[in-house]
Structure 1
Amino acid sequence: MSGSDGVPLPRRNGPENVVPIRRGLRMGTVTAGVPVAVIAGSHWFELSEEHTMATARFGLEAAPNDDEFVFRLDDEERIRQARDILAGIETSKVHVQGRVVAEKSDHNPDWNFHLDPGSITFFDEADEDCDASAHYVAMQLDRVGEEGFLPDNIWAPTRSKITREFDV
């Protein structure tokens, strides 16, 4: 594949088709799954999948009086479900669960762990081995996944509630 000037585009690990965007053009909404490259001078930059997808951040209270925990969703259906929970449209599956990743993230910098955005779902009842406050998970992070404590690294705080959506 070559650019509009006939110069071959560099190949990188990843998608076979790279869509060039001319310098000076602004990028609007990009459909999820569309690989994109941006040219700046003589350099090409591929935008990661994270930047080409719908993304929303939500606040979570995992237990009463627990500090806010922030989780990110990249799936349009899950984003709609979270917004429905906040709006009171969904009243059954209103609690948040997901796979614990034992590292800080940009969207949740106050905690030493975050939830894998692709693993997040909503539930009404969960196994008590998956239930804990955010503070307890943070203090026991080295035990996550052990027998009896967040099996398969799944955190499902049974009293969790979505508190808000962050502005984009």
Structure 2
Amino acid sequence: MSDITRKFSVSFAAALAVLTAAGPATATGTVRQAAPVAYFTMEDITRERFVIELRDPDKIQHARDLISGETRARPHVVGRILKRTAPYNPRWSYHYRPDTVDFFDMAIEVCDATIPYVEEHLDEAGGAFLPGLVWCPWTSRLVNEVPAA
């Protein structure tokens, strides 16, 4: 077997394993537990509120630790936005892509904007305003976890 074929076979097998593991059922027919999902409300200097969705267990725990006061590290929210409404955040015409949300202490100015300013200038987002659709409101802070429905 050539070196290229061997590398392709190993990569294909690894990709197949990941895709198979991500499915809802195993070979024995048991259902896999869904990834955790949690929703949090953030607020900025304008006192407007915005709901975010988190799916990463470590980020969910960090958010809960921020709310409880257990930590003060990385208190602000950053991520890439999508220019459409999310069911959990219907007031706004945009939301964070859940797989991109993270937390920070300090960030560059080009991604800073308030919640209403993003809404008012959403058509400009992705260009000179919020390049790459990365939004990092410097005054963002989590205020509560949204109870599960």
Same fold (TM over 0.5): yes
Aligned to 1:81: 62
Secondary structure of the residue aligned to 2:42 is strand
AA at the equivalent of 2:137: P
Aligned to 1:55: 37
TM-score by length of 2: 0.77
Asked if the contact 1:145/1:153 (under 8 Å) is kept, the reply is yes
2:46–2:114 Cα contact (<8 Å) kept: no
1:160 aligns with 140
Aligned to 2:119: 138
Q: Percent identity?
A: 33
Asked which structure has the greater RCO (Cα within 8 Å, sep 6+), the reply is: 2
**Residue 28 of structure 1 aligns with which residue?**
none
- Tell me if structure 2 keeps the 8 A contact 1:145–1:152: yes
TM-score (norm 1): 0.69
Q: Unaligned 5+ residue runs, structure 1?
A: 1-14, 18-32, 38-46
Q: Which residue of 2 aligns with 1:113?
A: 94
Deviation for aligned residue 1:34:
5.0
Tell me the residue number matched to 1:35.
24
Which structure features the higher share of helix residues? 2
- Pairwise CA RMSD of aligned residues? 2.3
Deviating above 2 A after TM superposition, structure 1's stretches of 4 or more consecutive aligned residues are none
Residue deviations 1:6-29, cap 9 Å, x none?
Answer: xxxxxxxxx558xxxxxxxxxxxx
Q: Which runs of 5+ in 2 are unaligned?
A: 1-18
Q: Distance in 2 between matches of 1:83 and 1:121?
A: 13
Code of the residue aligned with 1:120 in structure 2: it is V
